C-alpha cells in the first residue's frame, strides 16, 4: 500500500447534491433531497479494494443542516471503514 488516493467532497446545496471527485473517472453524486442512497458509493469503494490504496477525503465545507451533517459523517465513516479494512487485512 504505497500510494494514496486524494479525493474531494463538495456540496451543492441548491441541488441537494454531494459530489465526490477524483475517486473514480466520473464524479460520484449523492442526492440528499429525500432518502440518501449509498449503494453506488460503496460499489465504487469496493472496486477500489483491488487497488489497495488508502483514500484521503478532503471536506472543507462546514454545515449546520442536521440532515447534511448526518450524510457527511456517514460518508466519512464509510471511508474510514474502507481504510481500516485495508489495514486489517494487511496485518
Partner 1 sequence: MKIYSDWLKIDLHLHTDLSTKTKEGDYQGDFSVETLYEKLTTNDVKIFSLTDHNIINLPAYEEYYGNHTSDEDPLLLVGVELDIEVSTNNGPKTYHSLLIFNYNTIEKAKELSEKLEEKYTSKGLDDKERKLTIEEIVDLFPEDDFFFIPHAGNTKSIISGYRENVEDAQKMVLLMQSAFEKVPEKNRQRYNEGFNRVLHEAFQAQDDIAYIEFSDNHNINQYPATHKGGADSKIHEFYYIKGSKSYETLRLAFIDPKSRIKSTNQYNEIFHLNNTIEKLKINNEPKLQNNEITFSPHLNVIIGGRSSGKSLLMNLLGTKIDKVSTENKYKINNTNILIKAKNDSGYKTSASITENLIYINQGDIVHYFEEKKLEELAIKSGKEEDYIANKTSFTEHKNEMFSILDNLISSYEHTYAIGKEKKYELHRHTIDNIFSEEYVILFDKEELECKFDKSTLIQESKELIENINKNITAFKESEILDITDDEINIIDTFSKLLEEKSLLINNKDKNNIKKSKFIKLVNTKITTKNYELSSGAQEKSHANNNLRQLKTEIKERFVKMNDLKQKSKILENFDYGMTKKININDGVLLVLEVENNEEVKKYLLDGINNSNLSKSIYLNLVDLLLEKNSIKNLGSNSSEKLKQKFIKQLEPIKNMMDSPKDYLEYEDGNISKDKSPGYNSEKYLEIILKNDNNKFIFIDQPEDNLGNRFIADTLVNILREIKFKKQIFLVTHNPAVAVYGDAECIIIAENNENIISYKQIVLEDKDAQKEICSILDGGEYIFDNRSRKYNIKRILNEEG
Of 15 and 81, nearer to partner 1 (C-beta) is 81
- CA dist 2 to 52, 53, 80, 84, 89, Å? 9, 7, 18, 15, 15
Interface contacts to partner 1, rule CB under 8 A: 32, 34-39, 42-43, 45-46, 49-50, 67, 70-71, 74, 77-78, 81-82, 85-86, 88-89
CB of 34 to partner 1, least distance (A): 6
CB of 16 to partner 1, least distance (A): 11
- CA dist 1 to 20, 24, 32, 83, 90, Å? 22, 18, 33, 11, 9
Q: Which residue has the cell 449503494?
A: 39
Of 60 and 90, nearer to partner 1 (C-beta) is 90
Amino acid at each position: 500500500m504505497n500510494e494514496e488516493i486524494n479525493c474531494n467532497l463538495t456540496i451543492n446545496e441548491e441541488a441537494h447534491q454531494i459530489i465526490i471527485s477524483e475517486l473514480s473517472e466520473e464524479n460520484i453524486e449523492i442526492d440528499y433531497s429525500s432518502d440518501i442512497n449509498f449503494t453506488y458509493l460503496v460499489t465504487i469503494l469496493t472496486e477500489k479494494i483491488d487497488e489497495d490504496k488508502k483514500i484521503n477525503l478532503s471536506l472543507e465545507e462546514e454545515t449546520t443542516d442536521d440532515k447534511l451533517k448526518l450524510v457527511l459523517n456517514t460518508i466519512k465513516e464509510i471511508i474510514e471503514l474502507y481504510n481500516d479494512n485495508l489495514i486489517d487485512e494487511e496485518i
